[in-house]
Amino acid sequence: MSKIIVRGGRKLSGRVKINGAKNAVLPIIAASLLASSGESVIQEAPPLDDVLTINEMLRSLGVSVKYGADTVRVNAGRLERFEASYELVRKMRASFLVLGPLLARLGRARIALPGGCAIGTRPIDQHLKGFEALGAEIELGQGYIEARVNGRLQGAKIYLDVASVGATQNIMMAASLAEGTTYIENAAMEPEIVDLANYMNAMGARIRGAGTGIIRIDGVKELRGVVHTVIPDRIEAGTYMIAAAITGSTLYIEGAIADHLRPLVSKLREMGVAVEEEENGVQVSVAGPLRAVDVKTLPHPGFPTDMQSQMMALLLNAEGTSLVTETVFENRFMHVEEFKYMNAQIKVEGRTAVVSGGTRLKGAKVRATDLRAGAALILAGLVADGETEITGTHHIDRGYVNIVRNLYALGADIRREERVERVEAAAEEAVPSEQRPVFSAQPTWA
């Protein structure tokens, strides 16, 4: 079984370079389906399992996708297939983001219903409401969603009941080739939405207001392939910022954009963590004891739900009691039970976790129940007494490139044990070996 093994107590030092953002690159690769001519070249596409999955999804639609050296090259000129299989949608919800582009390009899309996942039910009603407003007919049956339109989609005003990131992206992509103007009201405002809009505008789309609550999309007849560099991953950056804070170390997080990390930076400062913003990154250091703070997750620019579990790991090491309220996903406290195996004092009351800081964490056998929960357990392991063994590492591989190797290079006592099959899977993708995690029972670097 794959596992990550951490022994707590080491200080970290040095710098770590942040990869392109998972949550930006996935919609951007999906949007490359919109290009009826030219090659789309997407740079800073990190070698994550999710990137491999979306590439596979595009290939299954008959599109040419080449991937190597952090660059995805897509040629979607001959896109003909409109059906995406359950196998791929099941692996990753972001696969559902091909629906908008397929509908816009082919007037038809058939996609397996994305299943529920650990952090909540994650409905897709807002995506469907948007497609229907644009003139698509939607049919649900046998676990699939089929969307069709006769002729072109028609611009419309769409008010989202929740500021959904995925629905904003899916509707933006569908509307880019519609006839007329679309407004998305109560749109999500995450930096990844802005990156997608910048990419699509370079392709020839006419999108204004991305990053605000109202996005206007003037439909165009066609889009073409362009070169684009994906923004740095604010969640990966935030995770390493917390690695510095939790171990009381000084780390330079290269490529982190402080403006994308405002809520985290401000909470860290409230806790007594020094965050220096520099031109090409941030430096994080700690001078004294950490203070408890309350945190409530919200859509951007609120505190990101994708940082909630890592922040909870940090608050377990602060003096006093903190309240952590999760408002975005209804089931995103699965890490609490795992933290409890590590001697954490946490009580969940509805959507709020009451976190009592200051109790020493103890190493234990724990399980990553989702991607960020996995990252949070690694962080807790960095300061726990003794050894923490984390299974469920496939979740972590969805979103972190070389997290074990990076932390080891920064001074952590951490290693990974993994079965050999994954090496073969990685080799098939032709990702340069130095960009993949090292898989061996006895890592050469640890």
Ligand X SMILES: CC(=O)N[C@H]1[C@@H](OP(=O)(O)OP(=O)(O)OC[C@H]2O[C@@H](n3ccc(=O)[nH]c3=O)[C@H](O)[C@@H]2O)O[C@H](CO)[C@@H](O)[C@@H]1O
Ligand Y SMILES: C=C(OP(=O)(O)O)C(=O)O
Identity of the residue numbered 116: G
- Is 117 catalytic? The answer is yes
Residue 306 or 418 with smaller CB distance to ligand X: 306
Residue 21 or 149 with smaller CB distance to ligand Y: 21
Report the distance separating Cα 261 and Cα 301, nearest Å: 9
Residue 435, annotated ligand binder? no
Residue 3 or 91 with smaller CB distance to ligand X: 91
Using the rule CB under 6 A, is 399 a contact of ligand Y?
A: yes
Residue 88 or 364 with smaller CB distance to ligand X: 88
Give the list of residues 6+ apart from residue 412 with CB closer than 8 angstroms, or none: 6, 10, 12, 243, 247, 382
Judged by beta carbon distances under 5 to 8 A according to partner kind, the member of ligand X, ligand Y, none in contact with residue 328 is: ligand X
Judged by beta carbon distances under 5 to 8 A according to partner kind, the member of ligand X, ligand Y, none in contact with residue 249 is: none
Judged by CB under 6 A, the chain residues 290 through 319 that form the site for ligand Y are 306
Structure-token pair, residue 42? 């997407």
Kindly write out the interface string for residues 111-130 of this chain, putting x where it contacts ligand Y by CB under 6 A and - elsewhere: --------x-----------
Tell the smallest beta-carbon distance from residue 53 to ligand X (Å). 11
Q: What is the DSSP string of 374-387?
A: HHHHHHHHHHSBSE
Q: What are phi and psi of 117, to 5 degrees?
A: -135, 180
Spell 54-67 as b/e; 16+ CB within 10 A means b: bbbbbebbebebeb
Closest alpha carbon to 259 in 279, 274, 273: 279
Q: What is the DSSP string of 390-414?
A: EE-HHHHHTT-SSHHHHHHHHT-EE
Using the rule CB under 6 A, is 394 a contact of ligand Y?
A: no
Judged by beta carbon distances under 5 to 8 A according to partner kind, the member of ligand Y, ligand X, none in contact with residue 399 is: ligand Y
Report the distance separating Cα 446 and Cα 441, nearest Å: 10
User: Considering CB under 6 A, how many residues would be counted as binding ligand Y?
Assistant: 9
Residue 175 or 414 with smaller CB distance to ligand X: 175
Q: Please tell me which residue in 106, 117, 334, 423 is annotated as part of the active site.
A: 117
Neighbours of 368 (CB within 10 A): 27
Residue with the shortest CB distance to ligand Y: 306
Residues forming contacts to ligand X in the complex (CB under 6 A) are 23, 26, 93-94, 120, 122-127, 162, 164-167, 188, 192, 305-306, 328-329
Tell the smallest beta-carbon distance from residue 26 to ligand X (Å). 5
Residue 125, annotated ligand binder? yes
Residue 23, annotated ligand binder? yes
Judged by beta carbon distances under 5 to 8 A according to partner kind, the member of ligand Y, ligand X, none in contact with residue 112 is: none
Q: What is the DSSP string of 112-158?
A: EPPPPBTTB----HHHHHHHHHTT-EEEEETTEEEEE-SSS-B--EE
Closest alpha carbon to 264 in 235, 222, 288: 235
Give the list of residues 6+ apart from residue 424 with CB closer than 8 angstroms, or none: none
Judged by beta carbon distances under 5 to 8 A according to partner kind, the member of ligand Y, ligand X, none in contact with residue 136 is: none
Helices 371-383 & 308-315 angle (0-180, nearest 10)? 20
Using the rule CB under 6 A, is 93 a contact of ligand Y?
A: yes
Judged by beta carbon distances under 5 to 8 A according to partner kind, the member of ligand Y, ligand X, none in contact with residue 120 is: ligand X
Closest alpha carbon to 17 in 232, 228, 259: 232
Q: Which of 237, 371, 412, 438 binds ligand Y (CB under 6 A)?
A: 371
Residue 395 or 416 with smaller CB distance to ligand X: 395
User: 433 near 423, Cβ under 8 Å?
Assistant: no
Residue 306, annotated ligand binder? yes
Task: Give the residue numbers of the binding site.
Answer: 22-23, 93, 122-126, 306, 328
Query: Where in the sequence numbering do the catalytic residues fall?
Result: 117
Binding interface with ligand Y (CB under 6 A): 23, 92-94, 119, 306, 371-372, 399
Task: Give the residue numbers of the binding site for UDP-N-acetyl-alpha-D-glucosamine.
Answer: 93, 122-126, 306, 328
